[in-house]
Amino acid sequence: MKHPTIDRNQALRIAQQQYTPPKEAFEIYDEMPANWIIYGGDRYNPDEHWFIQGPIRDGIIGGSRVIIISRETGEVVYDGPAGE
């Protein structure tokens, strides 16, 4: 992978845009936390992705909401629950 073009702050802004209206209280990680259970989660290389945890969407029952963002393009490659 070439040098990431999306930095930590840009990844957080992308995650906040996923919410309508935007919400606060996001945590960003350099690698996927061990307690996250995401189907196919092993395909998200920590060198290539940002791992962001935020509040669950309104009306959805479950654990935390996870947004995984490409460090290279800023594309949201996963947006869903994390079974914790």
- CB within 8 Å of 38: residues ≥ 6 apart: 32, 44, 66, 78, 80, 82, 83
Least confident of 19-33, 44-58, 66-80: 19-33
Kindly state whether residue 13 falls inside one of the protein's structural domains.
yes
Kindly state whether residue 14 falls inside one of the protein's structural domains.
yes
Kindly state whether residue 60 falls inside one of the protein's structural domains.
yes
Kindly state whether residue 28 falls inside one of the protein's structural domains.
yes
Query: What pLDDT is attached to residue 35?
Result: 86
Query: What pLDDT is attached to residue 16?
Result: 81
Kindly state whether residue 52 falls inside one of the protein's structural domains.
yes
pLDDT of 42 > 70? The answer is yes
Domain carrying residue 76: 8-82
Kindly state whether residue 21 falls inside one of the protein's structural domains.
yes
Kindly state whether residue 2 falls inside one of the protein's structural domains.
no
Kindly state whether residue 1 falls inside one of the protein's structural domains.
no
Q: How many domains does the chain have?
A: 1
